[in-house]
Amino acid sequence: MSVTTADSKPIALKLPAFRLRGGRWVSPLLLLLLWELGSRLGVVPPRILAAPSAVARTLWEMTLSGELPSNLAVSLARAAAGLAIGLVVGVTLALISGLSRAGETAVDPLMQLKRTIPVLALTPLFIVWFGIGETPKITLIAVATIFPIYLNLFSGIRGVDAKLIEAARSFGVTGWQLIVHAILPGALPSFLVGLRYAMGVALLVLVVAEQINASAGLGHLINNARDFMRTDVIVVCLIVYASLGLAADLIVRTLESRALAWRTSFLKS
C-alpha cells in the first residue's frame, strides 16, 4: 500500500501481517458461544431453538439408544438407491447422446425439457402414481440426480481432445475400444464433477422425499420432533444431513485423487 505526498512521491507503507492459525474456526465458535449464552439467558427459548449443549446431549442419547443410527441407515438406503438408478440412467443417456448425433437429436431435447421442470413439483404426481410408500421417495431422488450426471458426462464426451482421438486411431484403436480407452477416460473429470453434484442433489431431495409419510428415516424423526416441538432433535437431524453432504463430497474428492492421478494439472492444483 502507498500514499502520495505533496511532491507527488509515493511513500510505501508496510502494514503488519496478521494471521491467526485456525482463524476460520473463530466465527463458528463465536456463533456457538453466543447461541449458548442467549439460550442460558432466556433470549432464545428452547421452543424456538435448543441450546448447543442440549443438542449435543440429545445427539449422544439418540446415538446410544440406536434411534439415530437405525433411522440414518434407512435414509442412506433411500439416497443410495435413488442415486444408483439416476447414475445408471444418466450415464446411459449421456453415452447415447454424446457418442452419436442421432442420439443427441433423440435424447437431448427430452433432457433439456426435463431440466426446466422443477423436480419437487413432481412430488404430487409421484404420490398419485406410486402411492406413499418407498417408491415415490426413491423415484424422486433418481429423477433429480439424472440430469447432473447426464449433462456433465455429455459435455465431457464432446470435450475430449481431438488429438487424443487421432492418436488412438493411429494405433489402430477403433469402435468400442476407442470409447473405452480414449473417450471415457478423457470424459472422466467431467463425470466426477457430475457425480459430486448428483450426490449433493440426492441428499437435498432426500430431505423433501422423507416428508412423504415416512415411517422411518431422518425425515421421520424431524416430523415427530416438529409435532412435539423438539427443536433439539430437529437440529440434530440437520447436523446429520450436513455431515452426509460433507462426507459425500469427501468421497468424490478421494475418487478424483485416485482416478485422476495421471493428470499433471490435477496434481498441481
pLDDT band (50, 70, 90) for residue 141: very high
Report the share of the chain in percent with pLDDT over 70. Answer: 86
Q: Of the ranges 18-27, 47-56, 216-225, which one carries the lowest mean pLDDT score?
A: 18-27
Q: Is the pLDDT at 20 greater than 70, yes or no?
A: no
52-268 placed in CATH 1.10.274.10: no
Handedness of CA 155, 161, 166, 171 (dihedral sign): negative
Q: Is the pLDDT at 269 greater than 50, yes or no?
A: no
Q: Is residue 102 exposed (0-12), middle (13-18) or buried (19+ Cβ within 10 Å)?
A: exposed
Find the Cα–Cα–Cα–Cα dihedral 97, 103, 108, 111, rounded to 10°: -80
The whole-angstrom separation of Cα 174 and Cα 26 is 57
The whole-angstrom separation of Cα 188 and Cα 260 is 8
The whole-angstrom separation of Cα 39 and Cα 50 is 7
Report the share of the chain in percent with pLDDT over 90. Answer: 18
Q: Is the pLDDT at 259 greater than 50, yes or no?
A: yes
Nearest to 200 by CA among 149, 249, 151, 237: 249
| Residue pLDDT, tens place only, 84-100 | 999 999 999 999 988 88
pTM of the model: 0.77
Alpha carbon separation from 244 to 87, 239, 247 (Å, rounded): 19, 9, 5
123 in Cβ contact with 188 (< 8 Å): no
Three-state SS for 51? coil
220 in Cβ contact with 227 (< 8 Å): no
| Residue pLDDT, tens place only, 189-218 | 888 889 989 998 998 888 888 877 778 888
| Residue pLDDT, tens place only, 40-85 | 887 878 788 888 888 899 899 999 998 899 999 999 999 999 999 9
Q: Where are the domains of the chain?
A: 52-268
| Residue pLDDT, tens place only, 231-247 | 889 899 989 988 888 88
171 in Cβ contact with 214 (< 8 Å): no
| Residue pLDDT, tens place only, 162-186 | 777 777 777 666 677 777 777 777 7
Q: What is the mean pLDDT of the chain?
A: 81
Residue 54: the pLDDT is 86
Residue 91: the pLDDT is 92
Mean pLDDT of 128-147: 89
Which string of DSSP letters, residue by residue, matches 143-189?
A: HHHHHHHHHHHHHHHHTS-HHHHHHHHHTT--HHHHIIIIIHHHHHH
